[in-house]
A and B are shown apart, each in its own frame.
Chain A
């Protein structure tokens, strides 16, 4: 191998060093487990290891998220020649006991173990999350020892850009940021754009409030994002990459910064990589709390230090992006799939999932379930399997009511559709979207008009204010929903709400406004009686009802934006 490091050497050395230890204790050190006391757990284990003089025997690693956040802190003990043992709810005391019994005496602490055959784990297929809970996100050596950067090296030194794009296209990988646009096709567009100033952008804004897939990938396997970006850059001819991370994720920012430094030091980023002409650098940009900045044109404005207001497309970023040069935006999870696809092949990936939705999807499983956390499942798995098997069913003997996907741009899936396969097209057909991976389960106690109002308040607050249908429409829709929920709504309110949904959906400039009515429309579609039960008869209070200016808003809105396009 000419130039740069020899990855095989590095990987081999790391593996040999790790193999010296008889036992490895993998302690989940992700944000969720840390807030559940994982640091104290690690300290307790480390203390006992020191007390008993087991340092030569036991390796302690703080890993990324193991997934079952609701049962954290999680600890996995891996011993030479034995099956892995997983422990749940490991506080400092339990940590000490595990160290004393299992690490020192070889006796697992049975009552704390959780079977790895547990459906929560057994039903998952790991592509993006393959390193989670396995490697130390702070060490590039660990990533490389697990096969990291091999895909980049092979792509750069043995494949043409067109060859790389061909693999991505054949894999069937679609964008995981919500829209589901075929990744390979987007790469091809940037590849064909003529410029020597092209950029690739990783979208780590993760605006859906109730989702943390991208955060976990950036924090716990940051090199995977960098490798995916570098492969994308090689395939498209980009010279520079930006990762846009929301400011609420300071740990992700720190880990990515560190990963960039490490990659540069090992000449995996920078000039003339692997002794070729290919050079690529990555910079981090931090958001400042604006949902709309996840929209690609707004995101680019924000990278350039401006207000994050979207502009009409076309021109698409691949024609006119950052500073006027062609750019391509991919979601973090989309890019995180790429190294594994390149390593294991397009066919392997295309075999997972369904005809039109290949591969896996990472979901942040939250809400009223027994097991909540981060999961990766093959596309096409049914909602029932996710909820009943992986999620362990609805918590506290309550009945399942609905699951929300796609956050404020998405919709709900009611009980009667619980056997729907989770893929892009089936979810669209139900009036929801795949979205970026937020999956929130609601039980019978949750009132759907409340949920609709919740999301509308979010959209109202987050509307950037540039176009009227969204700016005024989300406000009016919120007021109407509030009137309904607080017992001030009449049949006319509901009619107005539905009219306005249509106006905002069809006339807004960007996806925020175009999809803001979705939670209302879908809860109305499936749970209309709940809304109707809230209605009060026409009465004196009607005069002061919000939404009186709806008709006017609707008219001017239609006049305002004609050539608007639907979401990406």
Chain B
């Protein structure tokens, strides 16, 4: 899902190194244009396009929604109306990491509430919200189709099966630490390059 975003990130990284791109060179615009061309600017592909926008930008901003409306020749009200109807579309940036607790029936019966409460307490983040420092969003999903392994949660899209609150909290910590050390590595590498130059 986030492959597109990663590609955009990588591309913008290069562009940035080349000296800061003017906004029109935002690589995400090109990605979105590719998607729009792929659906041949058909208005009935609106939902597909909104998925692509969320993939590329991480969320739906008013500006991009206006762009989409123009491109598909739809009234902005129609685009916003459709976007707000469906639960999967988000209008705010998500945290660096997401923890999605399944609250489908199988997981409910096996204690999804305790998972949700555990994460809320350990990380001080309410259900459906993002931590103030932007490090973690806590979301809910209605059945991800792994009911045989209930209760389940997703951390950045990876399934944690037969989860307990403690295991889930630990897995979130691992994910957060992994990205921290990755960032450290990037910073060190950057510093190394700087030194070489």
A304 touches B86 (CB 8 A): no
Q: Decide: B85 and A308 in contact? CB cutoff 8 A.
A: yes
Q: Which residue on chain B has the smallest CB distance to residue A442?
A: B109
Query: Given A367-B106, A368-B109, A454-B108 in contact, is the A248-B47 Cβ separation under 8 Å?
Result: no
**A274 on the interface (CB 8 Å rule)?**
no
Chain A interface size band reads 35 or more
Q: How far is the CA of A365 from the CA of B144 in the complex (A)?
A: 15
Q: Give the complex CA separation of A291 and B104 in angstroms.
A: 12
- Asked if A31 and B88 make an inter-chain contact with CB atoms under 8 angstroms apart, the answer reads no
Most buried by A among B44, B47, B88, B159: B47
Q: Which residue of B lies closest to A450 (CB)?
A: B108
Stretch at the interface among B24-32, B148-156, B175-183: B148-156
**If A32-B146, A32-B149, A367-B109 touch, does A250 touch B1 (CB 8 Å cutoff)?**
yes
Q: Which residue of A lies closest to B160 (CB)?
A: A35
**Interface residue? A342 (CB, 8 A):** no
- A69/B108 contact (C-beta < 8 A), A289-B88, A302-B47, A305-B46 known: no
Query: Is A32 a contact of B148 with CB atoms below 8 Å?
Result: yes
A404 within 8 A of B: yes
CB contacts under 8 Å to A, within B31-56, are 42-48, 50-51
Would A215 and B161 be within 8 Å (CB), given that A305-B44, A308-B85 are in contact?
A: no
Task: Tell me how many residues of B have a C-beta within 8 Å of chain A.
Answer: 40
A399 vs chain B, min Cβ distance (A): 15
Q: Is the C-beta of B105 less than 8 angstroms from some C-beta in chain A?
A: yes
Q: Is B7 positioned at the interface, with any CB of A under 8 Å from its CB? A: no
- B173 interfacial contact with A, CB 8 Å: no
Residue on A nearest B82 in the bound complex, by CB: A307
Nearest-neighbour CB distance to chain B for A18, whole angstroms, equals 29
Task: Verify if B195 is at the interface (C-beta below 8 Å from A).
Answer: no
CA distance A242 to B145 in the complex (A): 22
- A88 adjacent to chain B (CB < 8 Å): no
Residues from 77 to 126 in B contacting A, C-beta threshold 8 Å: 81-82, 85-89, 103-110
- Output the nearest chain A residue to B84 by Cβ-Cβ distance: A307
A189 on the B face (CB < 8 A): no
B187 at the interface (CB under 8 A from A): no
Within the complex, which residue of B42, B48, B103, B158 is in contact with A209, where a contact is CB–CB below 8 Å?
Answer: B103
Which residues of B are found within 8 Å of A231, using beta-carbon distances?
A: none
The CA-CA distance from A475 to B82 in the complex, in Å, is 22
CB distance from B55 to the nearest CB of A (A): 11
Given the known interface contacts A286-B48, A289-B86, A303-B44, the answer about A35 and B149 at a Cβ–Cβ threshold of 8 Å is yes
Does any Cβ of B come within 8 Å of A228's Cβ? no
Taking a contact as CB atoms under 8 Å apart, the answer to whether A364 and B88 are in contact is no
Q: How far is the CA of A32 from the CA of B147 in the complex (A)?
A: 8
Q: Is the CB of B149 within 8 A of A290?
A: no
Q: Does B143 contact A (CB under 8 A)?
A: yes
Say if the beta carbon of A49 comes within 8 Å of chain B. no
Closest to A219 in B: B145
Chain B residue nearest in CB terms to A372: B148
A429-470 at interface with B (beta carbon < 8 Å): 438, 440, 442, 446, 451, 454-455, 458, 461, 464
Chain A: minimal CB distance from B117 (Å) = 15
For A461, the chain B residues whose CB sits under 8 A away are 87
Please pick, from A209, A290, A458, the residue contacting B86 in the complex, using a CB distance under 8 A. A290
Q: Is B170 on the interface with A (CB-CB < 8 A)?
A: no
Q: How far is the CA of A70 from the CA of B149 in the complex (A)?
A: 6
Chain A residues with CB under 8 Å of B106's CB are 210, 364, 366-367, 372, 440
User: What residue of chain B has the Cβ atom nearest to residue A284's Cβ?
Assistant: B48
C-alpha gap A442/B160 in the complex (Å): 22
The answer to whether A367 and B110 touch across the interface, beta carbons within 8 angstroms, is yes
Contacts of A211 in B (CB 8 A): 143, 147
> Is A263 engaged at the interface, CB distance under 8 Å to the other chain?
no
In the complex the two chains form, is B1's CB within 8 Å of A35's CB? no
Taken together as a complex, chains A and B put the C-alpha atoms of A374 and B146 apart, in Å, by 10
12 A-B pairs with C-beta separation under 8 A: A35-B159, A206-B145, A210-B108, A210-B147, A288-B51, A306-B82, A366-B148, A367-B109, A372-B106, A372-B147, A374-B148, A440-B106
For the complex of A and B, 9 pairs with smallest distance between CB atoms = A69-B148, A210-B105, A288-B86, A35-B159, A209-B104, A366-B106, A212-B145, A289-B88, A289-B87
Beyond A31-B159, A287-B47, A366-B105, 11 additional contacts (C-beta under 8 Å) are: A32-B161, A36-B161, A69-B148, A248-B143, A289-B87, A290-B87, A305-B46, A305-B47, A372-B106, A438-B105, A454-B108
